[in-house]
Each structure stands twice: as structure tokens, then as C-alpha cells.
Amino acid sequence: MDILLNNLFSNSIKHNIKNGTINVILSGEILQIQNTGYAEVLNANSIFERFQKEKKSEGSGLGLAIVKDICGLYNWKVSYHYSENIHSFKIRF
């Protein structure tokens, strides 16, 4: 859980915009981590694959793949959604 949360929080910080916001919402069986960001929707079909990253990203492209693997290990569901300049990652426990 430490690695999962660290990867999601790190991404929300790294890919945020200046003076942006980060929201953490825990409700029942769902954890959402949201951040403001550039008006670019990520490819929800590939962002959880190894070495997939934005061109301007300095990361290795492994963070979200690790999140997906951890979720798979515990039968949790991870998803991504983008709306109105908000990138949202949701974990359903």
C-alpha cells in the first residue's frame, strides 16, 4: 500500500500545474487521487502499461504499471478519468 500511495501521490505532484490542487477522496471502498493538470487526456488503455509515459515526463514509466500490479494482486480495480482539467485515479477495494 505504501508503494501504491507513493506512486499515485508522486504522479499527482509531478504532473500538476503551478498553483494547482490535489484532492484525496476516500469513500467506502473507493480511494480517488485527483490533480489539476494540463488539458491533455491520458490514454486510459495504455497508461498502466510498463514504460508508457508522457513525452515531457522525466520518470521511468513504471509507476502506474506498479500500481496496476499491486491492485491486481489484491483484486482491486484501478482506473483513470479526465474531466475539466482534472486527472483522477480511482482505486476500488
Question: pLDDT at position 82, please?
Answer: 95
Question: pLDDT at position 51, please?
Answer: 59
d(CA 18, CA 46): 26
Question: pLDDT at position 41, please?
Answer: 80
Rg (CA), the chain: 12
Question: pLDDT at position 49, please?
Answer: 87
Domains belonging to the chain, first-starting first, are: 2-92 (3.30.565.10)
Average pLDDT, the chain: 89
Question: pLDDT at position 54, please?
Answer: 58
d(CA 79, CA 47): 10
Predicted TM-score (pTM) of this structure:
0.84
pLDDT digits (tens, 9 = 90+) for 70-82: 999 999 999 999 9
Q: What are phi and psi of 82, to 5 degrees?
A: -130, 130
pLDDT confidence of 39, banded at 50, 70, 90? confident
d(CA 74, CA 72): 5
Is residue 36 within 8 Å of 17, Cβ to Cβ? yes
